[in-house]
Amino acid sequence: MLKGIDPVLGPDLLAILRAMGHGDEIVIADANFPADANAERIVRLDGVPGPRAVQAVASVLPLDDFVPEAAFRMEDSSAADVVPPVVQEYAAILKAAGYERGIAAIERHAFYARAREAYAIVVTGEPRFWGNLILKKGAIPPDDGGGS
């Protein structure tokens, strides 16, 4: 255990989040997501609900502010315009963490393709369908506020 670090963030997930660079993406997937078929790096958080995993990751991961959106959800194939309740929870968590932009929808097969390119996939125990999220890592400016 570490002070100030969410206990959901175990050593493997912390190492991945720390190693990611600006623009790298991480998938937070529901329990039905085919992670083994789509990732080089996988962290399992079985039994941890998706919103709880998003909250833990958002507590340490800066989101990219050089792009229109830094959060993406899998679109519901049967209701493309409907934002699933689990994604509404993700949006509230990200907003509480300071992310003011929306979560862009990505068609299901395009989401899988993008997930294959992600730095890592975090598999949660989230049982609800469409509980998948991609987050794009941002950069932390130097203390003097200057660029990198």
Tell me, yes or no, if 22 is annotated catalytic.
yes
Tell me, yes or no, if 90 is annotated catalytic.
no
Copy the structure tokens of residue 61: 């991961």
User: Which residue out of 30, 64, 90, 99 is catalytically annotated?
Assistant: 64
Pair type for strands 25-29 and 133-136: antiparallel
User: How many whole angstroms separate alpha carbon 69 and alpha carbon 101?
Assistant: 6
User: Which residue out of 6, 24, 76, 112 is catalytically annotated?
Assistant: 112
Tell me, yes or no, if 36 is annotated catalytic.
no
User: Which residue out of 6, 12, 22, 99 is catalytically annotated?
Assistant: 22
φ, ψ of residue 22 in degrees (nearest 5) = -55, 125
φ, ψ of residue 39 in degrees (nearest 5) = -140, 150
Q: Which are the catalytic amino acids?
A: 22, 64, 112
